[in-house]
Amino acid sequence: MSVYKHPCKLGWQMIKIFHGRAGKPEYIPFCGNREEALKFEAELRGTINHADPGWNDLLPDFLLTFQNRASVNGVKSMGYSMKHLGSFFGDFKIRHLTPLLIEQYKANRLKEGVKKKTINIELSALSSYLNWINETTGSLYKLPKRFTRRETRPPLPQVMTIQELGDIISQMSGDMQIIVSLMGLCGLRRNEALTLTAQQVDCAGRILRIYGKGGKWRMAPVEATGIMVRLEQLCKERPTGPLFISPRTGRAWVDIRKQIGSAAIKAGITKHVTPHLFRHSFATALLNGGSDIRVIQELLGHSELATTQGYTQVADTIKRAETSKLVANVANMQSLSGKGFPLENK
Are 195 and 152 in contact by the 8 Å Cβ rule? The answer is: no
Q: Which letter, b or e, does each residue of 48-78 get, where b requires 16 or more Cβ atoms within 10 Å of its Cβ?
A: eeeeebbbebbbbbbbeebeeeeeeeeeebb
Largest separation between any pair of C-alpha atoms in the chain: 109
266 is catalytic: no
> Among the options 34, 96, 213, 320, which is catalytic?
213
84 classed as catalytic: no
Using DSSP, state whether 211 is helix, strand or coil: strand
Strand partners of residue 343: none
Does residue 279 carry a catalytic annotation?
A: yes
User: Catalytic one among 311, 320, 325, 346?
Assistant: 311
6 part of the active site: no
Look up 105 and say whether it is catalytic. no
Q: Catalytic pick from 39, 109, 280, 302? A: 302
Task: Tell the burial category of 336 from Cβ atoms under 10 Å away from its Cβ (0-12, 13-18, 19+).
Answer: exposed
d(CA 335, CA 333): 5
Which residue type sits at 319?
K
Q: Are 312 and 286 in contact (CB under 8 A)?
A: no
DSSP notation for 14-63: EEEE--TTTSPPEEEEEES-HHHHHHHHHHHHT---TTS-BTTTSHHHHH
Per the residue annotation, which of 39, 189, 190, 280 is the catalytic one? 189
Q: On the CB side of 172, how many CA atoms lie within 13 Å of its CA?
A: 22
276 is catalytic: yes
Per annotation, catalytic residue among 16, 95, 276, 320: 276
**Of 84, 106, 190, 279, which one is the catalytic site residue?**
279
Active-site residue set: 189, 213, 276, 279, 302, 311
